[in-house]
Amino acid sequence: MNPFELNRRDVMTGSLGVLAGLAGTMTDLGAQEPGETDPKLFEEMTAVLDRTAELFNTQQSVMELWDQDDTLPLYVAEELRKPIIGWDELRAYMHPARKRMLDTFRWGYSNLTARYLGPDIALALFDHWFEILIVGENQVPRAGFDRVLAIYRKRPEGWKQILYAQCPYGPYDYVQALRERAVSPDFEEFRRKTKQAESE
């Protein structure tokens, strides 16, 4: 069987497990319309992502962000073909020894949307970017960006991750976004002056 089919099946199996767990807690949250973010939830999710940035940007472990009581954490990393399913794989991937591969890592986010999936379950969708330098001679900093979909469970100490999935752009859209980002910030001012000069 094609290895990509196996990976996809692993993702679907894990995701269905999460959805099955949610089914028993889902309630009618009709007050929240599609595309609408509850202000309190938005504030709480912002605090979670600010803490995520703080941990990443001080080169610390992010394991505290995960719900340690969850039975099947899921992490879909864009740099891996196979999703990470379960605590053994997640802890191995996040092990401190891995940090020896990284010289410096910087992370940020924007465009957060959040909504409840149940009374103690929430989904966050946001853009993220990163800059990374790998340890080794002749290495240069690299950067990337894409979307993230994450699911959190409310615990007494706050919202904790149970799923974190990076959602890369398709090749064409990614190249287009790179070209748009390459435009100098002062281009619009240059355009305005050019049009003004043409009209005189």
Here the CATH number for the domain that contains residue 72 is 3.10.450.50
Nearest alpha-carbon partner for 169 in 191, 187, 148: 148
Residue 92 near residue 18 (C-beta atoms within 8 A) = no
> In the predicted model, is pLDDT for residue 18 greater than 80?
no
Residue 175 maps to a domain: no
Q: Residue 73: pLDDT band by 50, 70, 90 thresholds?
A: very high
Residue 86 maps to a domain: yes
Total residues belonging to the chain: 200
Residue 70 maps to a domain: yes
Residue 66 maps to a domain: yes
Residue 76 maps to a domain: yes
Residue 15 maps to a domain: yes
Nearest alpha-carbon partner for 151 in 53, 76, 80: 76
CA 56 to chain centre: 12
pLDDT at 98: 61
- pTM here is 0.72
Domain of residue 119: give its range. 3-168
Q: How many domains does the chain have?
A: 1
* Mean pLDDT computed over 161-178: 85
> In the predicted model, is pLDDT for residue 110 greater than 90?
yes
Q: Residue 66 burial by CB count (10 A; 0-12/13-18/19+): exposed, middle or buried?
A: buried
Q: What average pLDDT does the structure give for the chain? A: 82
Residue 7 maps to a domain: yes
Question: Residue holding tokens 């719900």?
Answer: 67
Residue 181 maps to a domain: no
126 or 142, greater pLDDT: 126
